[in-house]
Chain A
Amino acid sequence: MPQPVIRASNLVKKYKDFAAVGGIDFEIAPGESFGFLGPNGAGKSTTMRMIGAVSTRTGGELEILGLDPDKYGPEVRSQLGVVPQQDNLDVDLRVRDNLIVYGRYFGLPTRTIAPRADELLGFAQLSDRAKARVEDLSGGMKRRLTIARALINDPKILLLDEPTTGLDPQARHILWDRLFRLKEQGTTLVLTTHYMDEAEQLCDRLVVVDKGSIMAEGSPADLIRRFSSREVLEVRFGGGRNEEVASQLGGIGDRHEVLPDRILVYSQDGEAELSRIHQLGLKPITSLVRRSSLEDVFLRLTGRSLIE
């Protein structure tokens, strides 16, 4: 692996006695697209804020582009683009001015920023809204503007905290497309998400975090291979019978899991398992064979109950 652009070892962030991030290790290579996947409160945003040099760590080591963010805050931040979980666009400024003013915060001269702002407005499909007020933009437009703003300093690393949460499918696909282009241009992407499809689409490699610790690390395909089976068979027996039926399913599939409304059978070959279930004389009301997804991995690793 080439020299990593971000290196964390035993990274800890405590709020009073509570460890929001409890000693995590990861390395991110230049040009890589790296994801943090985890349930609410896992510590994703906290980690992103430490990487973004706006939160000082409680313990461990952290290096961004070879610099310690606690010592070289402004230098580190000048190389980063940040898309926070909640938009914090400047509502007193017009759309294009949001980019110009933000560029000036980095100490860049207007002659550098102005052409770049126009280019980014095009990139974010907001050229025709350049003079609009921020309040008048839709949620998806605001998100795209936030991403455009994060690119005004031509960052080496782009940090995206839940970039597409709250957007409709069209808006998400537009955003994914834009992020994909950035990745192709060699920008390192670090993102957090709750969406498995997003992680599968965008991440070369990801870590699943829960309660401040890393549960697993790998590429999406790799994680599915390690923590789930190739296929999942979903069968429903209806009306509280699932529990009872499940006890007869010993030996079917690699393992199975009983949910209130259905049973999941993890297997290499879902159809084969289904015919074995039929052979047992069991008649599911509905059945479905699908490929295993990152969601199965996620739920296996972080559990099905709400953590909070």
Chain B
Amino acid sequence: MAVVIYTETENGSFKKVAFEIASYGKALADQTGQKLVAVTFNQEDGSALGTYGVDEVVNVTGSFASSFSAKKYAAALAQVASEKEASLVVVSSSANSKYLAPLLAVKLSATYTSNVVALPESIEPLTLKRTCYTSKALSMVSSNQSVNIIGLSSNAFGIIETQSSPSQSSIAAEEASSSMQISAVEKVTGVITIADADIVVSGGRGLKGPENWHLIEDLAATLGAATACSKPVSDMGWRPHSEHVGQTGKPVASNLYIAIGVSGAIQHLAGINSSKVKVVINIDPEAPFFKAADYGIVGDAFEVLPALIEKLKAFKAA
């Protein structure tokens, strides 16, 4: 019996979310008196997981392991989970985890519960708290099956260090057959994605045009943040769709969300509500965002931003 976690890597390093999944998995393993087994793909060195309480790292090898395929990864994860007789599997809320989790659920005849925000309320039956109605509500959901997959919301649990010395092994899992092939990957490098970011800086129509986005980018670079935007900004082509956040865009669950020239429409707020601390900068004191924010400045973005960037640079340098 074990708690099995899917720990994602990129170019040979663990993604930050892997450490949060491990921290959660460790708490879950302690709660249920089981050991914690992490599964990696094509990752020779799993020792970094020893900072988060992992007991065993199983690395999936083989030619398919080097590039993500939801179907093949799900089959391999199912194989390891079955071998370890796992009744609890934890995955993240990354695009890849959300892609493979339902496939894994079918393989394991498990219940998959996504957007989970806390440790289980009870283990028998497994009862989990999750967000729904695009973060406008929460629900307590109990599972009717004995094997369960928990999809943890980003930043919901945090990273907790627990030293361990994981044993490491590798397994040549069976490759699932698929007619699907990746023909190209277009990925921006060197920028922080919304999914991985601790801080997100978001611009709305109040910024007047794409030519002013250097202010958003400067602020984001100063803070090590990802950039985001409101829906009309992406619809007008000022920014790429991948930056559109909100109810019909990407969800944001960062530690800090800074909204500039965003009015705070209900559909925008729905998607970013899970962020812990929200700051709004808007010229209109009546903008609805002020009701959702923790900190606010009523002011013109074109005056506030240059000053904020300068002061933050000085603060970071100090």
- Same complex origin of A and B: no
Residues of B near any A CB (own CB < 8 A): none
Residues of A near any B CB (own CB < 8 A): none
